[in-house]
Amino acid sequence: MTRFPLILTIFFLGGCTGSEWGWYVISPGTQSGRINLGFLLSGLGYTISVSILAMIFSIAIGLLFALLGISSNRAARWSNRAYVEFFRAIPMLVMVLWVYYGLPVVLGISIDTFWAGVLALALSDSAFEAEIFRGGIQSISRGQVEAADSIGLSYIDKMRYIILPQAIRRILPPLGNQFVYMLKMSSLVSVIGLAELTRRANELVVSEYRPLEIYSFLVLEYLVLIVIVSYFVRRMEKKMRADEHQH
């Protein structure tokens, strides 16, 4: 699987000499091709930073609402359900547009494209994170919860030392999947003008009129990113399983 991006790279760049297909537009063998490649890759920083920040915020918000969802307080459980159903029902593209164009009007604030993208992605994803955390926490056996209560641990210590460490081991695969999903969905931020990978590709298509070649390179960029993320997620899973067996 890890060789697939390399094969695609060889295929794309190997075809750069075929002017019929127009691969010269991203050929590293010409000055204009190198400039175009640099332009396309310049969006990488925004794609990664938006995705990471949105994931961090969505995990924090999701964990908070997951704890409300397992609370014995009925109002807290209802607030969890309302939040999850509301944000799961809104398409992410709609959320991006509303946060950027609507939120400043509602709150009377100014928000740039970067933070609008982070906030929109985080809000949309946090509903899914809440369900992932809730499922992971509830999968811990009741006996361990009762044992923690019997030794007098507070709610915070019980979650910190007993429940969450075990739950995180179980939910790491879906969390990894959500980060892959976040990387892909970050492309939607291009509609509000953030110069991430997809926006850069769209801008270059307008000036070069070579959509096949440019969007093919865009596919390759996302593919490489996701393969790298998947590799590190699998390594983390193996490490956590090894640590669990040692204990």
Q: Mind listing the domains of the chain with CATH numbers?
A: 1-42+205-247 (no CATH), 44-194 (1.10.3720.10)
Answer yes or no: are the C-beta atoms of 217 and 201 closer than 8 Å. yes
Helix (H) or strand (E) holding 159: none
- Can you tell me which residue has the tokens 């369900």? 131
Provide the pLDDT confidence category of residue 245 given band limits of 50, 70 and 90: low
Q: Which two tokens stand for residue 166?
A: 């075990």
Answer yes or no: are the C-beta atoms of 28 and 37 closer than 8 Å. yes
| Rounded Cα gap, residues 68 and 19, in angstroms | 59
Q: For residue 168, count other CB atoms closer than 10 A to its CB.
A: 14
pLDDT at 243: 65
Q: In the chain, pLDDT over 70 holds for what percent of residues?
A: 90
Supply the pTM of this predicted model: 0.85
pLDDT digits (tens, 9 = 90+) for 92-141: 999 999 999 999 999 999 999 999 999 999 999 999 999 999 999 988 88
pLDDT digits (tens, 9 = 90+) for 204-237: 999 999 999 999 999 999 999 999 999 988 888 7
